[in-house]
Amino acid sequence: MRIESSIKGIQVVRQLFVILLMPLYFLVSEKVAWQLSLTFSIWNYYTLAIFLPTIGLVSTYMVAPLHKMANTAIIFIFGLVLAYITICPAMYPESHKQAYQYTYVPFVITFLWATFIVGFLVCVDRRKKYNKRIKSDSVNSSSFLQKTAKKSPSLLRSLCER
């Protein structure tokens, strides 16, 4: 009983990390995106549209102790609302040939990339659950065979001969 309560306490702390560390993840990914945009002369909204959803969604999935996909979905929706508020519509930079014209391209890139990341994480999550189920089924079937062998060796022999 005591072990279960300490495990629940650890899970609560990890759940709080999802909430508390999210701004830190976004700040770090923002700095990396700005550096890449300066290094490769790419419009910074494009690099932010790739890095922010990637870091936010993947880190949420990895840190969340329970309900990983639910937490990821909440961050996905929160991130899209935040992206819509901040960059929709954006204006092309001065160096662009369509300077100072409105565009929705950064938001569309953010939406498509974040949707791809969520789809990828759904596949990873389902694969983990499938592997656990297969593993538990093989353990259950081997224990079934062992119990059957103890109770009725002739039945096990007849099963193996088929």
Whether 66 is in a domain gets the answer: yes
Task: Name the residue with higher pLDDT: 148 or 107.
Answer: 107
What's the pLDDT score for residue 119? 94
Asked if residue 60 lies in contact with residue 109, where contact means CB atoms within 8 angstroms, the answer is no
User: pTM surpassing 0.75?
Assistant: no
Domain coverage including residue 33: 2-114
| Residue in this structure with the two tokens 């993947």, named with its chain if needed | 58
158 part of a folded domain: no
Choose from 91-95, 108-112, 113-117, 144-148 the range with maximum mean pLDDT.
Answer: 113-117
Q: Can you give the pLDDT at residue 161?
A: 59
pLDDT band (50, 70, 90) for residue 38: confident
Does 88 reside within a domain? yes
The conformation of residue 102, written as its DSSP 8-state character, comes to E
Please tell me the distance from the alpha carbon of residue 67 to that of residue 76, in angstroms, as a whole number: 14
Q: For residue range 65-87, what is the model confidence (pLDDT) as tens digits?
A: 778 888 888 888 988 888 888 77
Q: Is residue 160 part of a domain?
A: no
Q: Which residues, in sequence order, are CB contacts of 127 under 8 Å at separation 6+?
A: none
Q: For the chain, what is the domain count?
A: 1
Answer yes or no: is 12 within a domain. Answer: yes
Q: Is residue 32 part of a domain?
A: yes
Using pLDDT thresholds of 50, 70 and 90, give the confidence band for residue 48: confident
Residue 67 lies in a domain: yes
